[in-house]
Amino acid sequence: MSAGKLVFRGVLMMSMGAFLAVGLTGCPSDTRASVPGKVAVLFSGNLATPLAKAHEISNDSLAAAYMTIASIELKLEDGTLVSVLPTPVEVDILLIEGVGELLAAADIPVGIYVGGAVVISSVEVEFLDYPGVLVPVSLLADGEFPVDVQFEVLSGAQGILKVALDNIMILKLDDSSLALEAELHIETDIDDGKQNINDDDSDLVAGNVETDGVIDSLKPEENSFEMEIGDGEVKVDYAEALILLPPVVQGAEPVEGSLADLAENACAHVTGVLTVGSDDMVLIADTVQIVAYNW
């Protein structure tokens, strides 16, 4: 059997009209005094139907499948590359089914984008029968895969960049080594700054989002704090959130806490709904789980 392959497919989701354009309502683009756009970078994945292929490793035999996303870059029409992932991020692809992992909140220059590339530097799996042993999974083309996208960003735009792996399969090759096969999509959903038919602004919404970060600028009077994600920040609204604390015993379930347990510089895992408006990004939290306190 030949080496496994990664199949990549670029997808553009138009938010309005025949071409994706974003900016300030009623204001023409002026690159001499333009304000960079901002995108929330979400990563998600969907596992293939178990045993869809004869050489596929059953998902039920895996304890974890760790993937390191080294970089996500977009290309302007003049050839300039724009990175939207400041540092590599590791995700367990067994845990991202139907979940949008918020990797970054990145500034993005004004301009027309005509392509991009995602670099996956490594994949390792852990089998239930061999706990603690990580087995490497091969990638083609050194893990660098181009993606075809086309959209325009105008001054002050905000939006969502969705990177998704679909039909993920771990294959066992004839030489007993492992390889990853999947389809990769990039979708863009950008706020065009216009009003809808009811004359009110419509926010972009992404549900079932989670992220990890450090609590900053805690404002109890507003039931909110800022969380640094990549090079940017996202506001977290915890007014209706369940607060969870680290388990008393390692490996046990988290302990329910209260709003008083939130603290500056604490490491937290947040789940909820992400809303992106014309001038802000807010993660409306369902849960805020304190992972560790940095006293």
Plot region of 220 (φ>0 → left; ψ -120 to 50 → alpha; else → beta): alpha
Same domain, 82 and 158: yes
Q: What is the dihedral of CA 140, 9, 273, 102, to 10 degrees?
A: 30
Q: Do 9 and 128 form a contact (C-beta atoms < 8 A)?
A: no
Same domain, 37 and 147: yes
Chosen domain end from 190, 225, 257 = 190
pTM exceeding 0.95: no
The residue among 84 and 183 whose pLDDT is bigger is 84
Same domain, 162 and 286: no
Same domain, 20 and 64: yes
Q: Do 94 and 62 form a contact (C-beta atoms < 8 A)?
A: yes
Say what the pLDDT of residue 63 is: 94
Q: What is the dihedral of CA 185, 83, 66, 160, to 10 degrees?
A: -50
Q: Does residue 117 lie within any of the structural domains? A: yes
Does residue 278 register a pLDDT over 80?
A: no
pLDDT digits (tens, 9 = 90+) for 63-108: 999 999 999 999 999 999 999 998 999 999 888 877 889 999 888 9
Across 38-52, 65-79, 224-238, least confident range: 38-52
Say what the pLDDT of residue 197 is: 37
Q: Does residue 198 lie within any of the structural domains? A: no
β-strands 100-108, 37-47: how paired? antiparallel
Q: Does residue 46 lie within any of the structural domains? A: yes
Evaluate the CA torsion angle 139, 80, 151, 227 in order and state its sign: positive
Same domain, 234 and 170: no
Q: Does residue 196 lie within any of the structural domains? A: no
Does residue 154 register a pLDDT over 70?
A: yes
CATH number at residue 251: 2.40.50.140
Same domain, 144 and 243: no
Same domain, 186 and 251: no
Q: Taking residues 249-260, report their average pLDDT.
A: 88
The residue among 24 and 47 whose pLDDT is bigger is 47
β-strands 62-76, 89-92: how paired? antiparallel
Q: Does residue 257 lie within any of the structural domains? A: yes
Does residue 149 register a pLDDT over 80?
A: yes
Measured CA angle at 212 (ends 210, 218), to 5 deg: 105
The size of the chain, in residues, is 295
Say what the pLDDT of residue 49 is: 75
Q: Taking residues 163-183, report their average pLDDT.
A: 88
Q: Does residue 147 lie within any of the structural domains? A: yes
Q: Which of 49, 234, 267 is nearest to 225 (CA)?
A: 234
| Cα within 13 Å of Cα(187), Cβ side | 13
The residue among 281 and 195 whose pLDDT is bigger is 281
CA–CA distance, 244 with 251 (Å, rounded to integer): 15
Confidence grade of residue 33 (pLDDT, cut at 50, 70, 90): low
Distances (CA, A) of 63 to 59, 66, 98, 220, 289: 8, 10, 18, 39, 23
Same domain, 111 and 253: no
Q: Which of 133, 115, 137 is nearest to 12 (CA)?
A: 115
Same domain, 66 and 91: yes
Q: Taking residues 135-156, report their average pLDDT.
A: 86
Say what the pLDDT of residue 201 is: 55
Give the structural domain span for 213. Answer: 204-292
The DSSP output letter for 195 is B
Q: Does residue 161 lie within any of the structural domains? A: yes
- In the chain, what percentage of residues exceed pLDDT 70? 82
Does residue 7 register a pLDDT over 70?
A: no
Same domain, 76 and 184: yes
Q: Does residue 195 lie within any of the structural domains? A: no
Chosen domain end from 162, 190, 218 = 190
Q: Taking residues 130-156, report their average pLDDT.
A: 87
Say what the pLDDT of residue 128 is: 95
Same domain, 122 and 155: yes
| Residue appearing with tokens 């969907």 | 46
| Residue appearing with tokens 């939130």 | 262
Say what the pLDDT of residue 192 is: 52
CA–CA distance, 244 with 253 (Å, rounded to integer): 10
The residue among 51 and 88 whose pLDDT is bigger is 88
Q: How many domains does the chain have?
A: 2
pLDDT digits (tens, 9 = 90+) for 16-29: 222 333 332 233 44
CA–CA distance, 35 with 51 (Å, rounded to integer): 49
Same domain, 166 and 257: no
Across 36-40, 163-167, 249-253, 282-286, least confident range: 249-253
Chosen domain end from 161, 190, 219 = 190
- Rounded to the nearest integer, the mean pLDDT of the chain is 81
Q: Is 124 helix (H, G, I), strand (E, B) or coil?
A: strand
